[in-house]
Amino acid sequence: MRLVVRLLHLYSSSASPSSRSTSLLPWLVRAFSPNGDPLHPVCSSPPRRSTSRFQMESCPSVKNILLLDSEGKRVAVKYYTDEWPTLSAKLAFEKSVFVKTQKATSGAEAEIVMFDGHIVVYKFIQDLHFFVTGGEEENELILASVLQGFTDAIDIILRNNVDKRTALENLDLILLCLDEIVDGGIVLETEGSVIAEKVSAHGIEGATSLAEQTLVQALTTAREHFTKSLLM
């Protein structure tokens, strides 16, 4: 139900009424069945690292998620298909998407553009440009919810200081966000607070592991010094 409300709000607050005809309205009919349930629900627990053809057809999916700076340079990117098999192909796509959208005035809500046979949903926050790409048959409301979840999670993790410098300083957390949102192209989670909580849990586990390693190293060093003192 929360997803329904969020998506309806996304539609109602999108650009001008004339732009909606090529934006979200056609997808409202496609996105929900008569009883209000999503036709393509987020997959809550698909097996990681093993995406079957059935899962790809029955679950919403994305082709890439891009986080670029205000000059179109990479901050963090993830590709989930082999449609762009080389680094040069990926960089060319990123440049094309950036050029296509750089003159747009993306505000608080996501904007949508058809580009080179793909649906690209994007949003700008300060000097960062966020993009989510899906196939031309993918539901753009789902792509918009992925983008919203990503930006919401980043906002929480970076403590409302969403800019390039802070993003680069916390790049590991941003990459963890991407892993929690999408696995193998399959959408796992779109709720920003849930994504941020999972990323924070990973950070706590990592800190605990590091603390344990430090303690072991300290004990080992103390044991070595004690052994040497006995031999002197």
Question: How much is the pLDDT for 107?
Answer: 64
pTM for this entry: 0.67
Report which of 191, 201, 211 is spatially closest to residue 149, judged by C-alpha positions: 191
Residue 111 pairs with which residues in a beta bridge? Answer: 122
197 or 230, greater pLDDT? 197
Name the band, by pLDDT with cuts 50, 70 and 90, for residue 224: low
Phi-psi region of 181 (alpha: psi -120 to 50; beta: other; left: phi over 0): alpha
147, pLDDT greater than 70: yes
Q: What would you report as the CA-atom Rg of the chain, rounded to the nearest whole angstrom? A: 21
CATH of range 41-200; options 3.30.450.60, 3.30.70.260, 3.30.1200.10, 1.10.260.40: 3.30.450.60
Residues 196-225, mean pLDDT to the nearest whole number: 62
The residues, ordered by sequence, that sit 6+ positions from 154 with a Cβ below 8 Å of its Cβ are 162, 167, 174, 177
Dihedrals phi, psi of 71, to nearest 5 degrees: -110, 5
44, pLDDT greater than 60: no
The CA distance from 118 to 61, in Å, is 12
Q: Which token pair is 102?
A: 């750089």
Q: Which token pair is 131?
A: 């993009």
Name the band, by pLDDT with cuts 50, 70 and 90, for residue 228: low
